[in-house]
Amino acid sequence: MALNDRDGSISDAVESARTRAQETQTTQWLAWRMRLPGCDPLAVWAAAEGDVRFFWEQPAAERALAATGASFEFTAEGPTRIGDAAIRARQVMARVHVAGEAAPLAAGPLLVGGFAFDDAHAAQGEWSRFPGARLVLPRMLVSRIGEDVYCTLVEAIEPGAAPTQGVAALEERSAAVRSFEGMRWVDEGEHESPHLGGALGARAGSWPPGAEYRVLADRPHEVFRTQVAEAVACIRDAEFEKVVLARSLEVQHPGRFDLPGFLHRLRGIYPHCTVLAFGDGEDTLLAATPELLVALEGDTVRACALAGSQRRGRTPEEDEALGRELLEDKKNLAEHAAVERALRAVLEDACAGLEAPNHPELMRIEGIQHLATPMRGQLSEAASPKPDVLDLVDRIHPTPAVAGEPSAVSIGWIAEKEGLDRGWYAGPVGWIDRHGGGEFWLALRSGLVRNPERGSSQRATPWARARLYAGVGIVSGSQPDQELRETRIKLRALLAPLTEI
């Protein structure tokens, strides 16, 4: 066959899919994997504008993936949404038949998606395209692992399928995908060759006008300070140990936000974070998150307790001093300890052994530094069945890092007091491979961008809107002014590269 069938793998996969589809009267999926040298997954993501699409990159680790289209989709709401998704993911992956290039599991096929922060979430208003749980089996997945780039194409095989069903479509699509070889996504600004002397010598009045932005806080600062004080009072009265309070900014912009350019800037500014995006139509969740919820590769589990923050210094000496201050600060250490205890309890139950430092370390990223306790363990052989990555997500989320301690009480307080529809903010977003491994990161330093429909005639200049989110952990000793200052630092992480003013 034309799909490089030297080892007969496509023939075997087609026959296997047809047989299973007929025997079970269920849809099966044929996944064809090929190499795509030199392709930047962001270029693939940018080309799929308006479609269901997913982007995930760890720049410093040289790992990235872009997924477009949906061969299968699962959605759910309510408190069982993550567990339901775990069951459905196993069922779907058992019906995927893979052929083509040999590659690591992370090269695909994968399920991609995410989950709302809390059980009570409803897909409505700003978050209408983001249900409580959403998993997608992409029609196309491009994965970069180091210097290797792979593309996985998926086609459905229905009961009663002809011997050639799916193959012709894969042949046509694989030929079209070859156009992505060597393609890089470059920010439009990088194409410019400005003559600084001429520009700076011009009169200010002769410059073209810059982009226009309006930035609106969701509540007055005094209201946020009062909420912090109320939370501290509840902690003093022993209603809970910790609660995470979030606030948001709405950024309005005439026209459209350049989302590929935004992601490109984020991966340059935050190489040690995970840059991610999930889009449907004109609505896109984006994040540059430092916080791994859980990862599973084989039997190896990784997670990281992350809580407690301090700004970065303006000089190396000041930065070092601020880091030492953070490592010794009782308030931040107490906030971190609540997260570490909760995460350790879950992982110790699932793992035969768990390795973690005795004291938190510093995680330093652009503009901010955090207390971090990385954890690593091996799944217990006594567990039957062994948990997959979504089982672990279900057990861990929400951690005290995004909700509070105890979880149920703090979430109730958030729902009553915060006045913010978090949607997928602070929820798990990531991917699952065929063996149940994968990675999920918390959608922190995140925003929901809603561009106007192309060709919209509702007004002369439609406005795009982006809502940016940031939260802070409130514990005994929290000070309203300090917590407000911390949200400002976190909000700048996305506000500056989004607006580029």
pLDDT digits (tens, 9 = 90+) for 64-100: 999 999 999 999 999 999 999 999 999 999 999 999 9
Taking 90 as the threshold, does the pLDDT of residue 199 lie above it?
no
| φ, ψ of residue 428 in degrees (nearest 5) | -80, 135
The three state secondary structure string of 172-201 is HHHHHHHHHCCCCCCCHHHHCCCCHHHHHH
Taking 60 as the threshold, does the pLDDT of residue 501 lie above it?
no
Taking 80 as the threshold, does the pLDDT of residue 181 lie above it?
yes
Nearest-angstrom CA–CA distance, 147 and 150: 10
Q: Active site residue: 155, 241, 242, 340, which one?
A: 242
Give percent of the chain with pLDDT exceeding 70.
92
Which amino acid is it at 137?
A: L
Q: Is 242 one of the catalytic residues?
A: yes
Q: Active site residue: 57, 155, 282, 291, which one?
A: 291
Nearest-angstrom CA–CA distance, 281 and 50: 4
Q: Which domains does the chain have, with CATH numbers?
A: 9-184 (no CATH), 214-499 (3.60.120.10)
Write the pLDDT tens digit of every residue in 69-78.
999 999 999 9
Write the pLDDT tens digit of every residue in 276-299.
999 999 999 999 999 999 999 999
Q: Is 490 one of the catalytic residues?
A: no
Sequence-ordered strand ranges (E) for 191-320: 214-217, 242-254, 274-280, 283-289, 292-297, 300-311
At 8, the pLDDT band (50, 70, 90 cuts) reads low
Angle between helices 389-396 and 81-93 (to 10 degrees): 180
Ranges of H-type helices in 94-195: 167-177
Output the pLDDT for position 104. 94
Query: Hey, what are 80's tokens?
Result: 């069982």
Indicate the SS3 state at residue 155: strand
Mean of pLDDT values over 95-121: 96
The better pLDDT of the pair 197, 421 is held by: 421
Output the pLDDT for position 81. 98
Output the pLDDT for position 126. 95
CB-CB contact of 500 with 244 (8 Å): no
Taking 90 as the threshold, does the pLDDT of residue 43 lie above it?
yes
